[in-house]
A and B are shown apart, each in its own frame.
Chain A
Amino acid sequence: MIKQPLYIRIGLALYLFMFFTYLIGPLILMSITAFNSASFPQITPWEVLTFEWFPKLFSDDRILRGLKYSLYVGFFTVILSVSMGLAGALMLTQIWPKLRSTYYTIIIAPILVPGVVIGISTLVFWAEINRILGFSADSYLQNGIFLSVLGQSTFIASYCMLVFVARLQRYDTGLTEAALDLGATHLQAFRRIQLPFLAPAMASSSVLAFLASFENYNTTIFTHQKFATLTIVLSQKVRYGIDPTISALAFIIVCLTVLGALIHEVRTRRVQLALANGAPVGAVTGGFKAPKFFAGNPAAVVLGLFVGAAVLIIGFAQVYDPAPAKQAYTDQKRAIQKKAIEAIQQKARDKVRERQMKGPKVFETKKGTGTGSPGKDSFGSVFKPNNLDEAAGTKKKKPVGVNPGKGAFGNIWKSDNLDKVAPKEKGN
């Protein structure tokens, strides 16, 4: 490659830096707010490092219920859309050439149709079916999970289909014929020959389908009925009243995503490296040797660091007790507030005095007090109602999160945590 002139390389570096700041920056900022004790997700003003939002998150019934519904919907959506996508892809290879492009357009269209449209059409259609069949309004056909699965599968199946088509293009139909010729039934040939060949595509389309289902909003908002999935719960929380538990959830999701991506990268890189070195396939899948594992595999190094950092943070969270710091912060804040109040009172007194002396110049001075002082950034949110709340020394939150003996994560890791929520669900 021809070496680029310096200014182009600097420009490129700058562009890459800005681009990835735009891409990653918001996620990092959002994650950081999960550790700020301020009751509104914010970075500035930074109050005190805390882990309290995590246990709070895990004791939030709506979120846990949403997670459960998301898992239900995701599970059935994966099954339905992977099988429909597979059938659609297999059909594409067999359909009459004349019909092929029409057929392809139809099964690819759901990707381009706005999710809102799919959501509405699914809901109104099944409501009508329900009416025609004379079922009651709360029959299974009107169940939020059922409708969400159908609505989401409509377009997620198209994604799956694309994955399968890409894989099938490399499939030799001669293999199926060979199996048939050796006496296998069609089902045996499919199960024993074609399905194993498609296994990687099955895996990736399942992951794809699950993630797409898990984060779907536009369709599910219309179809969910009483069963608000995690994404729906999140959107309601974000729209009406926010507290940093969402940041905590975001942090967890970011971490899981990064972890998943890294593991995937490490695995593919390992296979590639091994194959490049001419190792037989069997040697790639088994055995684990640390030095070899990291060699020439930057993602593996990052993964190692990542896991290390996670262990450190969790360990730190177990022993760290933000209460004293928080107390100190509160005291400090109260002191500042007190000072500010005193200052205001002083000013007021001064003003009164001034007014008594000079008369009309009141407003000017008042303005000066509000925004112009050097301590502006810490004063910025002093007058927010919730801040005053905290400053007033409300300790309501404390018992929930901060439990010095057990560590800040409290009982997140207890296995019965999810079950505790489950019984309440049965009513629904």
Chain B
Amino acid sequence: MSSGVAVDLQDMWIKFGDFVAVRDANVHINGGDFFSFLGGSGCGKTTILRAVSGFLEPADGKILIGGNDMKGKGPNERPTALIFQNLALFPLMKVWENITFSMEVRGASAGERRKRADELLDMIALSDQGDKLPSELSGGQKQRVAIARALCAEPDVLLLDEPLSALDLGLRHHMRTELREIQKRVGITFIYITHDQGEALTMSDNVAVMRTAVIDQIGSGKSVYDDPSTSFVASFVGMNNMFRGKVKSISKGQALVETNRTGNLLARITTGATGKLAVGDDAMVFIRPEGLHIAEKSAKSNTRIKANVRHSEFEGTSYNVFLEGDAGKEMKMSLVNRGEARLYEPGAELTLQFDATQAVVVPAGELASE
């Protein structure tokens, strides 16, 4: 199996009639990466995948796989294999025939195919299930057959379209680990589509976060979480408390933002937002629930927030406290259970503090819908 084939999208546009499904996408995917496209439904992530696999032709721009332009090549001529959202196992073929379909169409003999099928069935721990029909397998088994079928085609790039979405929660977590292991073992490039940020963050080397038709940010899971480029990414990836305001001053990579109700807040300007904020601009400050603490006396006023408790929950490892936030919005604070924290009564007024390096500020913009 070849390993490490890079995929490049260059200035790629995809249109359906007048409707722009993907706008000017520029992505470089390293060879051998586990790369995820993360976004809500209808954002165009599946469209990108279908363009890479050859079911759609971009209206403009290029798709390169291993440096070769894929223009005009059909899905059957590209070194990619796609795992469909509903898996699309052939219902009338036995499991082993399903797995080796790619060999069948190349004219491989039945014996050859059977041998290869047995190897792959061993790999996915379904050794004795080859003669069954897909309808006789469980959800997780079907999943593995679909992976084996795609790998049997010996693709340079494996494309996965939300393959875990049909599984129940426990199985989904299990399959995450399994997928990641398979990827490490075969060493080829995986491109993974999901709307589940947990999947994207745990499995991927790099993540592209998509807003409607546009890629907002590309980076490692950590950078997407800690250093969002846009308000959309900040609000989409993980829980975040948001405060609107105007930039009052900027210094040393930090901005002081004047908010309507919460006073002035000091926050770090993210890498992606650097240079895009000026004094007087509308801005958004984001603070993670785990970045908020009960204020100590020494806290400076521009890293302090006053708020009333609405209600709180006990979660074992932590307490979640929900507070009345900016413009009546709910604000969440997460307190690690170290023994001294406690549940707060509704209505209690708390003073909270945060670390200015953990709060981020980006230009005001679109938010992920709740």
Beta-carbon contact of A182 and B55 below 8 Å: no
Q: Is B136 an interface position by the 8 A CB rule?
A: yes
- Known A-B contacts A178-B84, A178-B88, A178-B90; the reply to A281 vs B135 at CB < 8 A is yes
Beta-carbon contact of A281 and B133 below 8 Å: yes
Closest to A179 in B: B101
User: Which A residues touch B51, using CB under 8 A?
Assistant: none
Beta-carbon contact of A174 and B102 below 8 Å: no
User: Which A residues touch B90, using CB under 8 A?
Assistant: 175, 178-179, 193
Interface range, B side? 20 to 34
Beta-carbon contact of B105 and A183 below 8 Å: yes
Q: Is B4 an interface position by the 8 A CB rule?
A: no
- Known A-B contacts A175-B90, A192-B105; the reply to A184 vs B76 at CB < 8 A is yes
Beta-carbon contact of B74 and A180 below 8 Å: yes
Beta-carbon contact of B86 and A182 below 8 Å: no
Return B10 CB to nearest CB of chain A, in Å: 23
Number of A-B contacts (CB under 8 A): 67
Q: Most chain-B CB neighbours within 10 Å: which of A178, A185, A280? A: A178
Q: Is B241 an interface position by the 8 A CB rule?
A: no
> Binary interface profile of B, 149-164, with partner A (CB < 8 Å = 1, else 0)?
1100100000000000
Residue among A172, A181, A188 making CB contact with B53, cutoff 8 Å: A181
Q: Is B120 an interface position by the 8 A CB rule?
A: no
Residue among B88, B133, B136 making CB contact with A174, cutoff 8 Å: B88
Q: Is A196 an interface position by the 8 A CB rule?
A: yes
How many of A's residues come within 8 Å of B, CB to CB?
20
A16–B140 Cα distance when bound, in Å, is 52
Q: Is A320 an interface position by the 8 A CB rule?
A: no
Residue among A175, A182, A185, A188 making CB contact with B81, cutoff 8 Å: A182
User: Which B residues touch A181, using CB under 8 A?
Assistant: 53-55, 75-76, 80-82, 153
A115–B281 Cα distance when bound, in Å, is 77
Q: Could you tell me which residues of chain B, from 69 to 90, have a CB within 8 Å of some CB in chain A? A: 74-76, 80-82, 84-86, 88-90
Beta-carbon contact of B84 and A177 below 8 Å: yes
Q: Is A306 an interface position by the 8 A CB rule?
A: no
- Known A-B contacts A172-B86, A182-B81, A182-B149; the reply to A197 vs B76 at CB < 8 A is no
Q: Could you tell me which residues of chain A, from 152 to 181, have a CB within 8 Å of some CB in chain B? A: 172, 174-175, 177-181
Q: Most chain-B CB neighbours within 10 Å: which of A174, A180, A181? A: A181
User: Which B residues touch A188, using CB under 8 A?
Assistant: 105
A280–B89 Cα distance when bound, in Å, is 18
A42–B149 Cα distance when bound, in Å, is 68
A281–B153 Cα distance when bound, in Å, is 28
A182–B78 Cα distance when bound, in Å, is 9
- Known A-B contacts A188-B105, A281-B133, A281-B135; the reply to A180 vs B75 at CB < 8 A is yes
Q: Is B338 an interface position by the 8 A CB rule?
A: no
User: Which B residues touch A184, using CB under 8 A?
Assistant: 76, 101-102, 105
